Amino acid sequence: MLILLPPSEGKTAAVRGNPLDLGDLRLPVLNPARTQVIDALVELCSTRPAEAVDVLGIPKTQPELVDANAHLVEAPTARADRIYTGVLYDALSPATLSPAAKRRATSRVMVTSSVFGLVGLADRIPAYRLSGDATLPGLGGIQSHWRAHLGPGITEALGDGLLVDLRSGTYAAFWRPEEVAALTATVRVLHEHNGQRKVVSHFNKATKGRLVRALLESGANPRTPTKLADAFRDLGWTVEIGPTTKTGTQLDIVVAEI
């Protein structure tokens, strides 16, 4: 089973640690594409910082984010599950997982990254600022770049297991699981209030974090979208199986708002 998460916009920079070594990251097949993004991002931020503010959508009150990108290759690194922060990762709380669940998280969970394509939770990376919908001079759109390069990495990480896709729309555009649609479950969280269902960003992220945490702790390893739905139901979630499309079977997790 491979669980794909979106990254967080906010990141906690490492205070100490070795600089980035692409050779230590999972999925070395992605390293040439990773190098292209890093080179374009560092060049922009180190030589044209004022332009970088506009290109990257960085608040003018946070020039340190441009500087961090400029020094990406020599910045200290930490595990990805310590770099990514925010609502989803707070709910997942990787540091407080049981030892068995931590091992499962290391092998089964990967984060979609604008800079690195995919990273495992134990991969050591620096903090960076690069949105998935950005366009870098000399490289082009981040989404189109990864659409051209991400497939072999995901195929390698997935093997013949089930793909559990929890990516947000921006990062889902990096790669469409059309070739493995029969073994893909796209998970959507719907919040129900007064008989109406809708997606609410904050609760959506928190619920996805709790879903992944519960799945890792349970030890369940479903092989089909239907079995995944059963596993979530066994864990107390309300699940509705939606249509199967060319990108997988949709599972709706329905949460009643209080």
Q: Rounded distance, CA 142 to CA 115, Å?
A: 8
Query: Residue 191: what pLDDT?
Result: 85
Most confident of 29-38, 52-61, 174-183: 29-38
| Residue 249 buriedness (CB in 10 A; 0-12 / 13-18 / 19+) | buried
HSE, CB side, 13 Å, CA atoms: give it for residue 3.
Answer: 23
Render pLDDT for 101-125 as a digit per residue (tens, 0 to 9). 999 999 999 999 999 999 999 999 9
∠ CA 190-143-66, rounded to 5°: 100
Which of 25-39, 138-152, 197-211, 242-256 comes out lowest in average pLDDT? 197-211
Query: Residue 196: what pLDDT?
Result: 77
pTM of the model: 0.94
The residues near 177 (Cβ < 8 Å, ≥ 6 apart) are 154, 163, 165, 184, 247, 248
**Res. 199: pLDDT tops 80:** no
Query: Residue 141: what pLDDT?
Result: 98
The whole-number average pLDDT for the span 143-155 is 96
Residue 159, number of CB atoms within 10 A of its CB: 8
The whole-number average pLDDT for the span 21-34 is 98
**Res. 127: pLDDT tops 60:** yes
Residue 154, number of CB atoms within 10 A of its CB: 23
Confidence of residue 198 (pLDDT cuts 50, 70, 90): confident
**Res. 31: pLDDT tops 70:** yes
**Res. 174: pLDDT tops 80:** yes
Q: Rounded distance, CA 217 to CA 250, Å?
A: 23
Mean pLDDT of the chain: 94
Query: Residue 257: what pLDDT?
Result: 61
**Res. 258: pLDDT tops 60:** no
Q: Strand 109-113 and strand 2-5: pairing?
A: parallel
Phi, psi at residue 251, to the nearest 5°?
Answer: -110, 125
Decide if 163 contacts 225 (C-beta within 8 A).
no
**Res. 26: pLDDT tops 50:** yes
Q: Rounded distance, CA 176 to CA 163, Å?
A: 12
pLDDT above 90: percentage of residues in the chain? 87
